[in-house]
């Protein structure tokens, strides 16, 4: 990372698992110490509704203090909640990409409980590393409540749908939410939550900004709903500087709906032309998906969606006409975030294999 600015990071992935465990203690939550299918509980999961638990479930759920006094369990928990010790010894573990994305599910219940404290820690850490500007991916654009038939109409869309069909469905949805009181209240609350989380963080020496985002593994109706909120929120706050799309790009839904997602971005970019897009695209390697899946993601993010910044982009040389695409990116001043350590851990791309070189 060039010192001075960190182009984007994911808030919940930036806080240490040890800190999350402290927050489990602060809130009097507990963590399950074993799996139990009958009770529908999973080992290492956080329970936030402790008072509603049956006595059987309560007996299996232990406090942060109890965890810290059991070194064996504590170390196992850190391995699930983070990527600690992944490569430095042998232990039973999922592949690195799954390990990485799975961690978010563990600390999710506590991740959004202490934003201000988390940002203060991030700010101090950034300053100590000589970083004065960070862009945080905090929380996805909220889903909006609409008539069922609109959701059904959007969920019938695919990447192969004709443009006029996509535009017709998205227009109907857009018209239903753009002036809807409840939808606007939801979006305003989301903006307020983001701005409150940044209270007291920005000053003469440090700048915190946000990206809103949509999760690429959701159904088309949820993706569009969240994307509409994300675009709208970006227009409503000076602290929000752009929209992103996140989640494992090699997931079944991510791959299947990729082009549809890009067309959703295009549709909203036409209606909110001032909103800038920074998009995870091309976070893929040969063998992770069939080769045809490597041939168009970066180009579509730029040419269809209108992205001005690409995150990862490491499958660039598998794109159709990749040199022409690179030339175009240069002309358009498209920034590529070379996410070196992430690419090494999640995708195994390092040293000479990294296209940055
Ligand atoms: Zn990212």
Asked whether residue 12 carries a pLDDT value surpassing 50, the answer given is: yes
Residue that finishes a domain, picked among 66, 99, 132? 99
State percent of the chain over pLDDT 70.
96
Question: Are 289 and 324 in the same domain?
Answer: yes
Question: Are 203 and 287 in the same domain?
Answer: yes
Residue 107, domain member (yes or no): no
CA of 243 to the centre of ligand 1 (A): 12
Residue 155 belongs to domain spanning: 115-353
Asked whether residue 142 carries a pLDDT value surpassing 70, the answer given is: yes
Residue that finishes a domain, picked among 45, 64, 99? 99
Question: Are 154 and 277 in the same domain?
Answer: yes
258 vs 105, higher pLDDT: 258
> What are 38-73's pLDDT values in tens digits?
999 999 999 999 999 999 999 999 999 999 999 999
User: Which burial class, exposed, middle or buried, applies to 93 when counting CB atoms under 10 A from its CB (0-12, 13-18, 19+)?
Assistant: middle
Quote the number of domains for the chain: 2
CA of 167 to the centre of ligand 1 (A): 29
CA of 339 to the centre of ligand 1 (A): 8
Residue 108, domain member (yes or no): no
46 near 31, Cβ under 8 Å?
yes
**ipTM over 0.90 threshold:** yes
Geometric angle at alpha carbon 310, from 304 and 312, rounded to 5°: 130
Give the length of the chain: 357
pLDDT given at position 355: 81
Residue 28, domain member (yes or no): yes
Residue 9, domain member (yes or no): no
Query: CA of 117: how far to CAs of 11, 75, 271, in Å?
Result: 12, 24, 36
Residue 1, domain member (yes or no): no
Give Dmax (Cα) for the chain: 64
Residue 109, domain member (yes or no): no
Residue matched to tokens 């490597």: 294
CA of 37 to the centre of ligand 1 (A): 33
CA of 152 to the centre of ligand 1 (A): 30
CA of 10 to the centre of ligand 1 (A): 6
104 vs 357, higher pLDDT: 104
Question: Are 146 and 91 in the same domain?
Answer: no
Question: Are 95 and 159 in the same domain?
Answer: no
Residue 41, domain member (yes or no): yes
């Amino acid at each position: 990372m060039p010192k001075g600015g960190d182009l984007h990071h994911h808030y919940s992935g930036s806080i240490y698992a040890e800190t999350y465990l402290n927050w489990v203690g602060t809130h009097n939550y507990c963590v399950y110490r074993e799996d139990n299918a009958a009770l529908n509980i999973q080992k290492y999961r956080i329970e936030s509704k402790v008072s509603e638990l049956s006595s059987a479930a309560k007996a299996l759920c232990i406090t942060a203090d109890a965890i810290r006094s059991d070194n064996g369990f504590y170390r196992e928990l850190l391995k699930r909640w983070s990527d600690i010790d992944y490569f430095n010894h042998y232990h039973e573990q999922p592949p690195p990409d799954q390990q990485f994305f799975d961690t978010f599910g563990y600390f999710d219940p506590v991740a959004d409980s202490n934003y201000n404290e988390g940002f203060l820690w991030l700010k101090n850490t950034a300053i100590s590393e000589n970083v004065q500007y960070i862009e945080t991916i905090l929380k996805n654009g909220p889903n909006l409540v609409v008539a069922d038939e609109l959701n059904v109409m959007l969920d019938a869309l695919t990447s192969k749908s004709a443009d006029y069909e996509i535009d017709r469905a998205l227009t109907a949805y857009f018209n239903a939410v753009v002036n809807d009181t409840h939808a606007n209240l939801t979006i305003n609350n989301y903006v307020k939550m983001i701005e409150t989380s940044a209270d007291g963080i920005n000053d003469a020496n440090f700048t915190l900004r946000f990206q809103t985002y949509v999760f690429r593994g959701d159904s088309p109706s949820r993706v569009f709903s969240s994307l509409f909120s994300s675009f709208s929120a970006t227009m409503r706050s000076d602290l929000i500087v752009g929209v992103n799309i996140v989640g494992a790009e090699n997931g079944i839904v991510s791959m299947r709906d990729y082009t549809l997602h890009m067309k959703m971005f295009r549709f909203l970019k036409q209606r909110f032309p001032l909103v800038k897009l920074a998009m995870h695209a091309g976070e893929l390697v040969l063998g992770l998906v069939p080769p045809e899946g490597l041939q168009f993601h970066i180009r579509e993010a730029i040419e269809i969606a209108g992205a001005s910044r690409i995150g990862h982009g490491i499958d660039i040389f598998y794109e159709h006409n990749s040199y022409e695409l690179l030339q175009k990116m240069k002309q358009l001043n498209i920034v590529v975030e070379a996410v070196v350590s992430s690419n090494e851990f999640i995708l195994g791309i390092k040293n000479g294999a990294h296209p940055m070189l």
